[in-house]
Amino acid sequence: MVSAMTVPKPLRFTASGPDRSEAPAELAGALTDAGIDIVGMREERRDDTLTLSFLLALGDDPVLAERLRTAVFPRAVSLGLTAELRRPAAGREPRRPSPDRLVLTVAAVTVPSRPVAAVIETVQRHHAAVVGIRGLTDRGFRAGEFLVAPGAASDPVALRDALLREVEALGLDAGLAPEAAHRRGKRLVVFDMDGTLVEGEVIDRLAREAGVEPAVAAVTSEAMEGRLDFRESLLRRVALLAGLPETVLDRMAGDPPVTPGAEETLAALRARGCRLAVVSGGFTPFTEVLKRRLHLDHAYANTLEVAEGKLTGRVLGEVLDGAGKARCLEEMARAEGVPLDQVAAVGDGANDVPMLQAAGLGVAFRAKDVAGDRPTPSFNGTISHRCPIFLGWAKGSASPLGIGNRSRSTDMELGLEGKVALVAGASAGIGYGAAAMLAREGARVVLASRDLGRIEAAAERIRAAGGEATGLALDVTDPDAGERFVASAGDAFGPPEILVTNAGGPAGGGFDTLTAADFEAATRLSFLSAVNLTRAALPAMKNAGWGRIVHISSATIIEPNDDLFLSSAVRPAVAGFSKALAREVAPLGITVNLVCPGYIATERLKDLAARRAREAGTTEAEAMEAMSATVPAGRIGRVEELASAICFLCGEPASYVTGVALRVDGGKVAFLL
């Protein structure tokens, strides 16, 4: 969203003392009973001491504050814990994905009375611990993620199976995946057709037209429950359709009953840069229509033999069974250049199990008995609500499971919740504006600038407004600046997914006032800094299969400014670098763009106005008015307007925008391109 919003200031409720196993669930339950939303949670155990830290969406509500004081604090004391309430600090929660930890994703079918406590208790029964909670969002839909650390006595397979079964018994859809795989961006998503993208079974509808519905339905039921080999069952069912006119097949394929929410889900996945496919044990006329209607990239299915305008009751070529579906998924991944751990598959029956297991993440939708028994995320609700959640993507603006979330007025959902962003030159001006807006959109931001005091103060302002941010003293002209920037992000939040480069700007003045050293310094500051920061951040983005790089440049790359000779000479190199890199990394789900500000109200613009005033013998205000008069919009731009453009380029809706130089100049530059 790029608009006005209300962000309640979160508070961190911390309780520490003797390690008592019941404390996490008891305090979570007390908070839920008090009507206080839990935004996040962290648990630490050291030397028999337990520290619980809950991030609460308390805001300035005096009623909730009173409930916290009179109900929750006493409960902590009764558990032998010392409690305190304070503003959250940045960089304290480890964000790097762990190979041992699991992400338990839950979405409410019916809501338990104390949902957070119920999930924590379930996890603890299996010698594991909930060490973190993160709210997911989805248009008023209730969901959440629990970070689970298996204990030394945990059996990984038994833990996974038991957690899924018992959490689902609470009235929650549940999915469990290794943290690293869950956080990894998905670049190819493969769907089954019958029962997943399309309601019901296509062959049952054909059987109804042929007058053999009971016989075909009986065979279908055996196959989907895993009691009959799919190949044999398909051949038997197709044989029963012999003599059905081809015109009936074409008529039925022309109007498939698409599952409610499927079109919305696929559109959202396309906006995230995903390639989409349908792989079906059904028939090609139906998958080809779906491919066109739903804008899919690939479609695979069985081909029915037709002779003299009627079905012969035979299948042409190899039957596409469960193993065949898995092979199709693997072939598509190779063709698209996508590693299998960045592939997701969604299906509903026994025939889909090999495909779900071949993918990096398999999701069972309205699972039949066999698919539902597999250790894979499973859900039974609306596909548009559940599917993005179980693929690891938050969506919309809900208050999940008593796990609170920021209130916001949504014009456009940018999908930046939880993303790790690096913003250079961020202590003030354009860089700070971009960092602050990214944080308001839910990104976790590492700010950098040369002055430690100023950058820490900038990060603190973002934290005070409810964002997650940490500051780093960094000179972007240092050769190792990129590595330090990325390492700082890893320590605080995790691998970078967004990079915004910004380095102020080189000295002003005309050519005669500049030295060779000035040109070398400007090249290091305005060009090589962008190259080096990009080089350091790019490997993590490639590994994730998702990334956004935005270089803050200047309108001088298009129209040189006599007062800014160095900027006009050096900055076009960044434009060429961005364009070339954008073409190279676009297949990897990474976009690279340039933002070219015109006159924006910053200290640098004031300096330019002051210099012009001195040269013209006028006041600074008059110089500023003269600059405004050259802008068709009739005014100087605001930092927030430029930050909005940067946030858009960093978001999901801009996944098809790459290699562009976006001018934010009020129409000042009078060129078509």
Q: What's the CATH number where 309 sits?
A: 3.40.50.1000
Average model confidence (pLDDT) across the chain = 81
Closest of 486, 442, 494 to residue 468, by C-alpha: 442
For residues 201 and 177, state if they share a domain: no
Sheet holding 468-473, edge to edge: 468-473, 444-449, 420-424, 498-501, 547-552, 590-597, 661-664
How many Å apart are CA 297 and CA 333, to the nearest integer? Answer: 12
Tell me which of 71-75, 401-405, 450-454, 616-620 is least confident.
Answer: 401-405
φ, ψ at 186 (rounded to 5°)? -100, 130
For residue 400, what pLDDT is reported?
A: 36
Q: Is 247 exposed, middle or buried (0-12, 13-18, 19+ CB in 10 A)?
A: exposed
What value does the mean pLDDT take over residues 308-325? 92
Per the annotation, the verdict on 204 as an active-site residue is no
- More confident of the two residues 412 and 430: 430
For residue 112, what pLDDT is reported?
A: 55
Residues 6+ apart with CB under 8 A from 58: 8, 9, 10, 11, 36, 64, 65, 68
Residues 320/298, Cβ–Cβ less than 8 Å: no
Q: Which of 316, 340, 375 is at the close of a domain? A: 375
Q: Would 671 be classed as within a structural domain?
A: no
Per the annotation, the verdict on 60 as an active-site residue is no
Band (97; pLDDT cuts 50, 70, 90): low
Q: Would 133 be classed as within a structural domain?
A: yes
Q: What percent of the chain has pLDDT over 90?
A: 28
- More confident of the two residues 115 and 517: 517
Per DSSP, 600 falls in state B
State the catalytic residue, choosing from 194, 321, 348, 352: 194
Tell me which of 40-49, 207-216, 391-400 is least confident.
Answer: 391-400
Closest of 299, 202, 200, 289 to residue 244, by C-alpha: 202
Does residue 446 have a pLDDT over 70?
yes
Q: Would 32 be classed as within a structural domain?
A: yes
One-letter amino acid for residue 370 of the chain: V
Q: What's the CATH number where 516 sits?
A: 3.40.50.720
State the catalytic residue, choosing from 192, 321, 348, 352: 192
For residues 314 and 329, state if they share a domain: yes
Residues 204/285, Cβ–Cβ less than 8 Å: no
Residues 216/237, Cβ–Cβ less than 8 Å: yes
Q: What's the CATH number where 69 sits?
A: 3.30.70.260
Range from 118-122, 314-318, 552-556 that averages highest in pLDDT: 314-318
User: Which pLDDT tens digit goes with each residue over 223-244?
Assistant: 666 677 888 888 999 999 999 9
Residues 585/542, Cβ–Cβ less than 8 Å: yes
Q: Which domain holds residue 235?
A: 188-375
For residues 571 and 462, state if they share a domain: yes
Band (507; pLDDT cuts 50, 70, 90): low
Per DSSP, 351 falls in state G
Residues 6+ apart with CB under 8 A from 629: none
What value does the mean pLDDT take over residues 431-448? 92
Band (386; pLDDT cuts 50, 70, 90): low
For residue 519, what pLDDT is reported?
A: 83
Task: Report the b/e string of 342-373 with b at 16+ CB within 10 A.
Answer: bbbbbbbbbbbbbbbebbbbbbbbbbbebbbb
Q: Would 173 be classed as within a structural domain?
A: yes
For residues 32 and 150, state if they share a domain: yes
- More confident of the two residues 639 and 271: 639
For residues 168 and 122, state if they share a domain: yes
φ, ψ at 656 (rounded to 5°)? -100, 5
How many Å apart are CA 613 and CA 354, to the nearest integer? Answer: 73
Does residue 175 have a pLDDT over 80?
no
How many Å apart are CA 190 and CA 356, to the nearest integer? Answer: 9
Does residue 173 have a pLDDT over 90?
no
How many Å apart are CA 583 and CA 673, to the nearest integer? Answer: 19
Does residue 421 have a pLDDT over 80?
yes
Q: Would 394 be classed as within a structural domain?
A: no
The DSSP annotation for 247-294 comes to: HHHHHHHTS--BPTTHHHHHHHHHHTT-EEEEEEEEEHHHHHHHHHHT
What value does the mean pLDDT take over residues 261-284? 83
For residue 344, what pLDDT is reported?
A: 87
How many Å apart are CA 605 and CA 611, to the nearest integer? Answer: 10
Tell me which of 132-136, 617-621, 658-662 is least confident.
Answer: 132-136
Q: Taking every pair of C-alpha atoms in the chain, what is the biggest distance, in angstroms? A: 95
For residues 294 and 261, state if they share a domain: yes
For residue 349, what pLDDT is reported?
A: 72
Residues 6+ apart with CB under 8 A from 597: 430, 552, 553, 554, 555, 637, 642, 664, 665
Q: Would you give the distance in Å from CA 475 to the centre of its chain?
A: 30
Q: Which of 130, 154, 182 is at the close of a domain? A: 182
For residues 591 and 608, state if they share a domain: no
Q: Would 318 be classed as within a structural domain?
A: yes
HSE, side-chain direction, 13 A CA sphere, residue 203: 32
Does residue 494 have a pLDDT over 80?
yes
For residue 113, what pLDDT is reported?
A: 57
Q: How many domains does the chain have?
A: 4
What value does the mean pLDDT take over residues 263-270? 78
Does residue 399 have a pLDDT over 70?
no
For residue 401, what pLDDT is reported?
A: 41
User: Which pLDDT tens digit goes with each residue over 517-545?
Assistant: 878 887 888 888 999 999 999 999 998 88
Does residue 54 have a pLDDT over 80?
yes
For residues 622 and 655, state if they share a domain: no
What value does the mean pLDDT take over residues 603-616? 85
User: Which pLDDT tens digit goes with each residue over 184-224?
Assistant: 567 789 999 988 888 888 888 899 999 999 998 888 777 66
How many Å apart are CA 108 and CA 140, to the nearest integer? Answer: 11
One-letter amino acid for residue 210 of the chain: A
Q: Would 393 be classed as within a structural domain?
A: no
How many Å apart are CA 95 and CA 97, to the nearest integer? Answer: 6
Band (36; pLDDT cuts 50, 70, 90): confident
Range from 173-187, 296-310, 377-391, 596-610 that averages highest in pLDDT: 296-310
φ, ψ at 422 (rounded to 5°)? -105, 130
For residue 322, what pLDDT is reported?
A: 87
Closest of 396, 392, 419 to residue 548, by C-alpha: 419
For residues 29 and 167, state if they share a domain: yes
Does residue 137 have a pLDDT over 50?
no
Q: Would 262 be classed as within a structural domain?
A: yes
For residues 241 and 364, state if they share a domain: yes
For residues 362 and 426, state if they share a domain: no
Q: Tokens representing 332? A: 């598509």
Does residue 499 have a pLDDT over 50?
yes
Does residue 638 have a pLDDT over 60?
yes
For residues 161 and 263, state if they share a domain: no
